[in-house]
Amino acid sequence: MKAKYIDACIKTAPWDEDSLAEMCSFAQKMGWQAVCVANTYEGKSSLKEQKNEVINARENSSIEIFLGVEINPHSPTQLKRLLKKVRENVELVIVRSSDYAVIRAACEDSRVDLVLAPYLERDDAGIDVYCIRKAKENNIAFGISIRELFLTHKWERVEIFKNLTDMLRLCNEKDAQIIACTCAKNIFEIRAPRDIVGLLLTLGAKQELAFTAVKNTPYAIIQKNLGILSGKYPVKGVEVL
């Protein structure tokens, strides 16, 4: 399996039939080789529509397109309930929350793939050594949303960069996985992968960590999930040949 530059989270507008095709085309021009459509979960019907949108887009696109979902639980209990609904239907499960109890519970649950932007709307990194240890045990990455870095202003942006830098420092020290994604909602919010790598390096990420954040890590997690969904990996650690 050769890793590809993959934007692990883009958003599509359900009212615009051409939005996904346009975003995929522009993402490819910017240097991405794959994208994952991960809209916020709003129910089974919306997820089914999103899945059909991705299937249709794959037929006319030369860029790889994967299906993901973002869930925004308000409690650990709701997290487990939502995971039960979405896990077997998507190739990437993203959890976004600023509540430490939810972030901690997400790191403890192997059904989660990505804990996105835990540093937002907080005055710290949103994670600690315990979260990193559990995330590593469960092959979970911590996500960086590029969108907020460009759309915020003044002191809000300063606070986000401070918290993000703290998270990267912890990830550097403990060799935690990170994934950087644009979370773009339109073509104007898509950034080139090498620009994102440069930003991560500027914020203090190790070189290897910065490059794998937009390539190896997200692609490997999605490929693993594809194997599980297809029955290739029926039990953890076992592969059907």
Q: How confident is the model at residue 209 (pLDDT cuts 50, 70, 90)?
A: very high
Q: What pLDDT is attached to residue 236? A: 53
Two tokens at 158?
């300063």
Distance CA 65, CA 58 (A): 6
Strand pairing report for 6-10 and 34-37: parallel
Q: How many Cβ atoms are within 10 Å of 238's Cβ, its own excluded? A: 8
Q: What pLDDT is attached to residue 112? A: 98
Distance CA 111, CA 154 (A): 37
Mean pLDDT across 107-136? 97
Question: Domain limits at 176?
Answer: 6-230
Inside any domain, residue 135: yes
Tens-place pLDDT, residues 150-191: 898 889 999 999 999 999 999 999 999 999 999 999 999 999
Q: How confident is the model at residue 239 (pLDDT cuts 50, 70, 90)?
A: low
Provide the mean pLDDT of the chain. 92
- Above 90 in pLDDT, residue 238? no
Where is pLDDT greater, at 177 or 232? 177
- Above 60 in pLDDT, residue 210? yes
Inside any domain, residue 42: yes
Residue whose token pair is 């773009």: 184
Strands across the sheet containing 6-10 = 6-10, 34-37, 64-71, 92-96, 114-116, 141-145, 178-181
Two tokens at 212?
């794998």
Distances in whole angstroms, Cα of residue 119 to Cα of each of 61, 65, 95, 124, 155: 34, 28, 13, 6, 15
Tens-place pLDDT, residues 47-75: 999 999 999 999 888 999 999 999 999 99
Inside any domain, residue 238: no
The amino acid that residue 74 corresponds to is H
> Of 42-46, 208-212, 237-241, which gets the smallest average pLDDT?
237-241
With vertex at residue 161, the alpha carbon angle to CA 156 and CA 165, rounded to the nearest 5 degrees, is: 150
Q: Which residues pair with 141 in a beta bridge?
A: 114
Mean pLDDT across 88-108? 97
Q: What pLDDT is attached to residue 198? A: 96
Inside any domain, residue 236: no
- Above 90 in pLDDT, residue 45? yes
Q: How confident is the model at residue 18 (pLDDT cuts 50, 70, 90)?
A: low
Q: What pLDDT is attached to residue 232? A: 66
Q: How many domains does the chain have?
A: 1
DSSP output for 120-175 = TTSSS-S--HHHHHHHHHTT-EEEEEHHHHHH--HHHHHHHHHHHHHHHHHHHHHT
Q: Is the pTM of this model over 0.95?
A: no
Q: What's 117's domain CATH number?
A: 3.20.20.140
